[in-house]
Structure 1
């Protein structure tokens, strides 16, 4: 089947979200995430950036509005199909979500193991990626022994290992020093050059200033986009 590159990976149209009977946290969001695009999602603390990422990852459903993902209306997709769609999305959470009983190597390789791939087919890729994020000497270490920055880098490597069609990263450089932040940014840019759309939620203006990219600014539940 020929892929239509003109169709965005994700389309939001007048999307709103509220919890229970409370006020809308997000409202009237209308935007696209084009294929192969690179954008920063920013805004003040409490603006709803993490909530928006959860909508993009299908871990939340909107209160109103239309969301299309991979050219499918999510309101018509059976819940049992959501895990398959999520496999096409890589995500880096602020709380890392590493499994403490697995080594760094095993955590990064987990998405491939879940898909039933043989270790011989991916071991070299996992080792190369761990080396790139500065964890080449920490592959046999369990997460409780890792520093916050090392956990962050392991979580990033895990999100990237399966070369997702879109990567969502929530403050991915929040626990690393500036040289490593730049190295990780270069990794995201290289992944983008290979065809993955990237959305990075960040407060780090110095990081954003290093790249000419679209900025999506979330404030008081509304989104402004600057190309």
Structure 2
């Protein structure tokens, strides 16, 4: 699904933040992305989400060479990817329900076709009572759960989650992990970026370990 071969990334004229990174994300796979703060995890996720292009090296997404992708193709490719960023990126003028439903709405689906799925997912992540609330009055943990629900609602082929359990308590973190595992069981490849060793220890999964911009893989 995603392939990196000797990828390097730098911002402007700065030093490289990713150096000779090589790995691939197979279909239906589950892996953690870990490493200290500043190691390059968020940059790697942005590359996989196709919001950045490598400075050097080769990267492909769904069989397409990223360096040769026509910009007009990018929206369709990104719709195959669900992503949860650390800053949530919820729209303040939309309710929790409408934020979660947005990826379905932009594809032209009618509310009658997706309302039940959105309500069920919001209840599952513990936001059933907040579906009509707006983001400015949600707590950090509630915003994080809304962002996770929005990423999951389309049942993407690839899910990228940047510290998805960072603002929730341990019981809810375990519940969200089970949700990610169930999504993986249904066929979605999952990449979870996290510092939480306890969370990673709950799953026998591959670990992509970044340190100073370089990647090591622990099977």
* Alignment TM-score, normalising by the size of structure 1: 0.96
Equivalent positions of 1:107-146 (< 5 A) are 107-146=99-138
Paired with 1:84 and 1:164, the residues of 2 have a C-alpha distance of 12
How well do the aligned residues superpose, as a CA RMSD in angstroms?
0.6
1:50 aligns with 2:42: yes
Q: Distance between the aligned counterparts of 2:9 and 2:208, measured in 1?
A: 18
Aligned equivalent of 1:96? 88
Counterpart for residue 198 of structure 1: 190
1:75 and 1:145 mapped to 2: Cα distance? 41
The equivalent of 1:17 in structure 2 is 9
Q: CA deviation at 1:56?
A: 0.4
Q: Give the distance between the partners of 1:18 and 1:205, measured in 2 at CA.
A: 28
Name the CA distance, whole Å, in 1 between partners of 2:172 and 2:72: 38
Shift of 1:159: 0.2
Q: In 1, distance between residues paired with 2:139 and 2:213? A: 34
Give unmatched runs, 5+ long, in structure 1: 1-8
Aligned residues: 219
Secondary structure, counterpart of 2:8 in structure 1: strand
Alignment partner of 1:137: what SS? helix
Among residues 211, 214, 219, which one is paired with 1:222 in the alignment? 214
Q: State how far apart, in whole Å, the 1-side matches of 2:96 and 2:80 are.
A: 22
TM-score normalised over the length of structure 2: 0.99
Quick check: 1:164 aligned with 2:173?
no
Query: What do residues 99-140 of structure 1 show as CA deviations (whole Å, max 9, x unaligned)?
Result: 011100000000000000011111100011001000011110
- Which residue of 2 is the match for residue 177 of structure 1? 169
Spell out structure 1 runs of 4+ moving beyond 2 A.
Answer: none
Partners of 1:26 and 1:200 in 2: how far apart?
18
Q: 1:77 corresponds to which residue? A: 69
Distance 1:157 1:166 in 2: 14
